[in-house]
Amino acid sequence: MTTRLLDSFTSAALDEAKWQPLQVPTGDGQFWRYEDPDAQVRTGQGELEIRLPRFQLQHEHISMLDNPKHLLALQEPVDLAADRITSIACEMACENHNGCPDDLFDGFAALSLCDPASGLIFDFVLSETCVAVIHERLPLPGVTPPGEDWLHVIQSPLLTRNARGEFHHYEIRFDHRAGRCEWLADGKRIYQAKLPAHVRSLIVAAGLFTLKPQVPGRGSVSNRGQGRRVAGAG
């Protein structure tokens, strides 16, 4: 495997030439920007921190737009090698603010990898106490045929747990020779899935999410005064 540091996070401010809030098409010629107005972003000493004491961003009707609260994406995609393993990894910790630390869907931090050409998502996510894998195909307009989106959430509580502010090593490996991807926490394999041959590059992102469906007649219920803090290092 070849190792390349995506960002050293040594400067006093986020390098906006490298990182920007992710935008996704809404299907009407417009774009939705995953940028919570109350997010506090800090870098330095090799670490990226996103602090959001109270989630504000929401969308009343579309879950894909409602649940990501603040998501910073690397502007240069990472290419996946055809002849060797490509590994994308970080050290990551999460802290709860006001919500339930044991409810993963109430708010979590994520290392999120996206193939915009197919809508496929490869994520490692964690709350203050829980760790999980999310493997998903987003319902991207013009990309994903109607009815072909899906969402899998996988937890292995006997293999991995988390604690407030505790850093662990999270790694996602892509092996085109074997046709698979693997999720590893502190070196232990948590999950593996088939890697489609057409996935050739990924957008790397980090941020804060909920995972709550809209309620008929009420709309979004993802924000209820809770927030989260994520800290990560490459």
Q: How many domains does the chain divide into? A: 1
Within-domain flag for 2:
no
Greater pLDDT, 157 or 206:
206
Task: Say if residue 8's pLDDT is above 70.
Answer: yes
Answer whether 0.85 is exceeded by the pTM: yes
Domain of residue 163, residue span = 19-233
Return the structure tokens found at 26: 């809404």
Averaged pLDDT score across all residues of the chain: 94
Over residues 99-114, mean pLDDT: 94
Within-domain flag for 13:
no
Within-domain flag for 204:
yes
Within-domain flag for 42:
yes
Rounded-to-integer distance, Cα 59 and Cα 25, Å: 14
pLDDT bucket at 1, cuts 50 / 70 / 90: low
The pLDDT score that the predictor gives to residue 234 is 76
Within-domain flag for 3:
no
Rounded-to-integer distance, Cα 203 and Cα 113, Å: 6
Residue 124: CATH number of its domain: 2.60.120.870
Percent of the residues in the chain that have a pLDDT greater than 90, as a whole number = 86
Within-domain flag for 14:
no
Task: Say if residue 78's pLDDT is above 80.
Answer: yes
Phi-psi region of 106 (alpha: psi -120 to 50; beta: other; left: phi over 0): alpha
The pLDDT score that the predictor gives to residue 161 is 83
Query: What count of Cα atoms within 13 Å lies in the side-chain half-sphere of residue 13?
Result: 3
pLDDT bucket at 175, cuts 50 / 70 / 90: very high
Within-domain flag for 11:
no
Task: Say if residue 96's pLDDT is above 90.
Answer: yes
Q: What angle do CA 112, 143, 204 make, to 5 degrees?
A: 20
Over residues 20-40, mean pLDDT: 93
Percent of the residues in the chain that have a pLDDT greater than 70, as a whole number = 99
Over residues 36-54, mean pLDDT: 96
Within-domain flag for 39:
yes
Over residues 142-166, mean pLDDT: 91
The pLDDT score that the predictor gives to residue 2 is 59
pLDDT in tens, 146-155: 999 999 999 9
pLDDT bucket at 15, cuts 50 / 70 / 90: very high
User: Where do we find the tokens 């774009």?
Assistant: 31
